[in-house]
Amino acid sequence: MKIKTVRQLEEMGQLYAGALKKQSQKVLICAGTGCVAGGSIEIYQKIKQIVDKSGLLASVELAEEKEGIGVKRSGCHGFCEMGPLVRIEPQGYLYINVKPQDCEEVVQTTLIEGKPVERLMYSWEGKVYPTQEEILFYKKQTRLVLENCGHMDAESIQEYIAKSGYKALAGALQTMEPDEICKIVSDSNLRGRGGGGFPTGRKWSQVLAQKSKIKYVVCNGDEGDPGAFMDRSIMEGDPHRMIEGMIIAGYATGASEGYVYVRAEYPLAVERLNTAVEQAREYGLLGRDILGSGFDFDVFINQGAGAFVCGEGSALTASIEGKRGMPRVRPPRTTEAGLWGRPTVLNNVETFANVSLIIQNGSEWYKSMGPEKSPGTKAFAITGNVNNTGLIEVPMGTTLREVIFEIGGGIRDGNGFKAVQIGGPSGACLTEEHLDLPLDFDSLKKVGAMIGSGGLVVMDEETCMVEVARFFMNFTQNESCGKCVPCREGTRRMQEILERIVEGKGMVKDLDLLYDIADTVSSASLCGLGKTAGNPVVSTLKYFKDEYLAHVVDKRCPAGSCQALKIITIDQDLCKGCSKCARACPVDAVKGKVRQPYRINQDQCIKCGACIEACPFSAIKEV
């Protein structure tokens, strides 16, 4: 069924909105990667089956006249920690950790009898929170880009259209010239959500100004930062919003083909995107003469093959071209010569997902949120040693404290906060003193960090910061493309030194050497990956110098996490001299005489812990 005019789109919107209204109750089962892993698809099928059996099922797609219950696979609700999640509308109940055996009860008690199932509700410090909106995790959020994620069927273009989807596109095609769109986007101060924060409108204007007849729109869905899954959630939960943004970008810049490059690690996102593209083609929202405007645009999905560096613009386009994903020197910029050497708009998923909001509501509205120079909202993935892990969206400028302690619910297991790693391998570790820092591009840059794609990994006092630096350096040197010398050799050497330090073989002069290498790597590397590779090292060296010194001078790991630096000792008072430990030791490091307290020769000890397990008197401890 092709939609040929804007009018037809409006009519269809009304039709489906009507059908949506007829669904007196909606059950939204989270079908994001997290909840799917927890078994949510089975829950979806079961609930659907039970509802259908009782003759209450109503579907939007069929635009049925009868009233009934809608059962939907939605995108990520965000509260991944508590998955699988089931949300019931209009009550707003959020059921957590739902299991297949709970389905009957949910249908019977809530859908049919209209009562809540209290045992499936979230509780915190003794208080039960029946609705999603009351939970602190959601209360502090402003969900705009993620508005639909978790609130509609992720595989239904009809629902998207019912929720004013593609209206921004229709408006743009009908009433705006390309340069007007570029201007609105410029005026909105929308900045790229992929890391660098480059003004999106300026990028689009640059591409529009290029004379080439062939231009491309490329969507960067290669969200490789460990600890980040915002883009995945959008692709899985609201793919049409992103596609709509791409089509508008195409119209605004004179491009007629778009490519989405998705990480291979996101099979569900690829599947949902493919479905969405098929649907959009079927409805005539992709293809020739979109909505009768004479504008042609189509979108193709490319799957990555496992290379973090492909998140870098020129590496990404090289990969789409079927080559090694190695960044190339610039100039020329991607806007001048990107994909196949043509002018290319390259933005990430979240950036494109913002576009329809700006077109519909105007740049002034957009600028009213957050700081003037980085307005709007930002999605973050909050993970690590925090109580509420998951996907959140807050206005730019929200402080780290609000995010970690209010939305995130503080540190797990009552431990103390130590640091938050922001921006993935290119980012930095921030500490207590930065907790009141507003999260926006410029404030973070001032302290040597960056938003990156928006991963926030919270670390508690049991996390060793030297080990964290080593972890990131290991990641970067594995993922370095190997082209330029500073990044290839520098990250390898930094990793080697950090490895040495966590093994207790580091020296004080190693710290200076780390600084020196990081300086050259960040100044002289070819691409962004290398230029930021030193950040985790430099930031931890800066904010956790004492911890480094403890490792190299005292050969001690204050967090108690570095295995090689642990000291195993025998409590001389508790030891009965049974010799079990000495017999268990694989390297004969335990010395002593039977019935007298044993001792461990620290030079020989390999910290394997065999003696601890062997001791019947709990006399052996690791410190």
Partner 1 sequence: MKKGTMIIDGYKIAYEGEKNILEVVRKAGIELPTFCYHSELSIYGACRMCIVEDQWGGTIASCSTPPKDGMVIYTNTPKIQKHRCMILELLLSNHHRDCTVCEKNGKCKLQDLAVRFGIKGIRFSAMPDNQELDDSSASIVRNPNKCIMCGDCIRMCEEVQGVGVLGLAYRGSKIKVTSAFNRQLAQVQCVNCGQCTAVCPTGALHVKNETKKVWDVLSNKNKRVVAQIAPALRIALGEEFGLEPGEIVTGKIVAAMRKLGFDEIYDTGIAADLTVMEETKEFTEKFKEGGTFPLFTSCCPAWVRYAEHKYPELLCNISSCRSPQQMFGAVIKEHYRNTREIDGRDTVMVSIMPCTAKKFEASRPELEVHGERDVDIVITTQELAFMIKEAGIVFNELEAESMDMPFGLASGAGLIFGVTGGVAEAVLRRCYKQKTAKTLKEIIFTGVRGMEGIKEAEIDLEGRSMRVAVVHGLNNAQKIVKLIKSGEKQYDFVEVMACPGGCIGGAGQPIPASAGTKKLRAKGIYEVDRTSQIKRSEENPMIMALYNGILQNKRHLLHVSRECHACKKE
Partner 2 sequence: MLTNCQIEKANEIIEKHQRKKSALIAVLQEVQKEYRYLPEPLLMHISSEMEISPAKIFSVATFYENFSLEPKGKYVIKICDGTACHVRKSIPILNALRKELNLSEEKHSTDDLLFTVETVSCLGACGLAPVITVNDKVYAKMTPKTALELLQALQKEAGK
CB 400 within 8 A of CB 214: no
Q: Which stretch binds partner 1 (CB under 8 A): 184-192, 325-333, 344-352, 409-417?
A: 325-333
Nearer to partner 2, 171 or 226 (CB): 226
Residue 586 interacts with partner 2 (CB under 8 A)?
no
Least gap, CB of 492 to partner 1 (angstroms): 4
Residue 567 interacts with partner 1 (CB under 8 A)?
no
Least gap, CB of 145 to partner 2 (angstroms): 17
| Region of 306 on the Ramachandran plot (φ > 0 left; ψ -120 to 50 alpha; else beta) | left
Of partner 1, partner 2, none, which one does residue 306 interact with (CB within 5 to 8 Å by kind)? partner 2
Residue 238 interacts with partner 2 (CB under 8 A)?
no
Specify which residues 74 forms β-bridges with: 30, 153
Residue 344 interacts with partner 2 (CB under 8 A)?
no
Residue 545 interacts with partner 1 (CB under 8 A)?
no
What b/e string do you get for 492-510 counting C-beta neighbours within 10 Å, with b at 16 or more?
bbbbebbebbbebebeeeb
Contacting residue, 110, 344, 389, 491, with partner 1 by CB under 8 A: 491
Contacting residue, 110, 279, 302, 344, with partner 2 by CB under 8 A: 302
| Angle formed at CA 423 by CA 420 and CA 426, multiple of 5 degrees | 115
Residue 371 interacts with partner 2 (CB under 8 A)?
no
Closest CA to 306 of 221, 194, 224, 220: 224
Closest CA to 136 of 123, 149, 146: 123
Residue 475 interacts with partner 2 (CB under 8 A)?
yes
Least gap, CB of 400 to partner 2 (angstroms): 16
Number of residues that bind partner 2 (CB under 8 A): 57
Of partner 2, partner 1, none, which one does residue 217 interact with (CB within 5 to 8 Å by kind)? none
Residue 225 interacts with partner 2 (CB under 8 A)?
yes
Closest CA to 351 of 313, 383, 389, 304: 313
Contacts of 351 (CB under 8 A, 6+ apart): 190, 192, 193, 194, 200, 245
Residue 80 interacts with partner 2 (CB under 8 A)?
yes
Least gap, CB of 339 to partner 2 (angstroms): 10
Nearer to partner 2, 334 or 421 (CB): 421
DSSP secondary structure letter of residue 111: I
Least gap, CB of 350 to partner 2 (angstroms): 14
Find tokens 């290991």 and name the residue. 474
Find tokens 């009782």 and name the residue. 54
Least gap, CB of 511 to partner 1 (angstroms): 13
| Angle formed at CA 134 by CA 131 and CA 138, multiple of 5 degrees | 100
Please, is 523 exposed, middle or buried when counting C-beta atoms within 10 Å of its C-beta (0-12, 13-18, 19+)?
A: exposed
Contacting residue, 36, 94, 185, 557, with partner 2 by CB under 8 A: 36
CB 539 within 8 A of CB 428: yes
Nearer to partner 1, 302 or 491 (CB): 491
Phi and psi of 296, rounded to 5°? Answer: -105, 140
Residue 390 interacts with partner 2 (CB under 8 A)?
yes
Detail the DSSP E strand segments found in 289-352.
298-303, 344-348
Residues that bind partner 1 (CB under 8 A): 307, 309, 324, 326, 328-331, 477-486, 488-493, 496, 513, 516-517, 519-520, 523-526
In the complex, the residues that contact partner 2 under the rule CB under 8 A are 33-34, 36-38, 79-81, 83, 223-229, 232, 263-267, 302-308, 319-326, 381, 383-385, 389-391, 421, 424, 455, 457, 459, 463, 468, 471-472, 475, 478-479, 481
